[in-house]
Amino acid sequence: KMAQAFELLKPGVRADVKKAHNLDPDKDYTQDPQCVQCHTTGYGAAGGFESVDKTPDLTGVQCEACHGAGSEFTKPELMSFDNKEFKLADVVAAGLNPKPDLATCQHCHNDKNPFNKPFDFESRKAQGVHQLFPLKYAHE
């Protein structure tokens, strides 16, 4: 769902939910800075989302939004599909965030969010963010 978060900003998408939160369901929110900061990856940061035209691959909340810069993940010694000896310690040593915490989530799940409801980090963590998208190799 998070990877598709940008779609929610488009006119007519989930109109009933937008109306229930006093938002115009016909408005295009895809260029609203208040919205794109939480519905894209890296907005406002070097190498992050700029616009749909310039950085279309950064729409939605991608892995990097919670775990760190994608350029770090592409290092062969970390996340190469050939590296079946993946170690969590290697990710931490590279400065990445393997286990985002409540503060990471609250960057978007907060009182500034018009859809905010109490965010229960522990129950969301227990649901398993990656359960629908299994990882190719087991992580320790």
| Residuewise pLDDT in 10s, the chain (140 residues) | 788 899 999 999 999 999 999 999 999 999 999 999 999 999 999 889 999 999 999 999 988 888 887 676 666 666 555 655 666 677 677 777 777 888 988 999 999 998 888 888 888 777 766 554 555 455 54
Q: Give the contacts of 104 (CB within 8 A, at least 6 positions apart).
A: 66, 97
pLDDT number for residue 129: 64
Angle, CA 5 vertex, CA 40 and CA 26 arms, to 5°: 105
Rounded distance between C-alpha atoms, residue 69 and residue 4, angstroms:
19
Predicted TM-score of the model (pTM): 0.77
Helix (H) or strand (E) holding 65: helix 63-67
| Chain position carrying tokens 């170690």 | 87
Buried/exposed 125-136: b ≥16 CB within 10 Å, e otherwise: eeeeeeeeeeee
Token couple for 17? 């939910």
pLDDT at 86: 60
With beta carbons less than 8 A apart as the criterion, state whether 33 and 59 touch: no
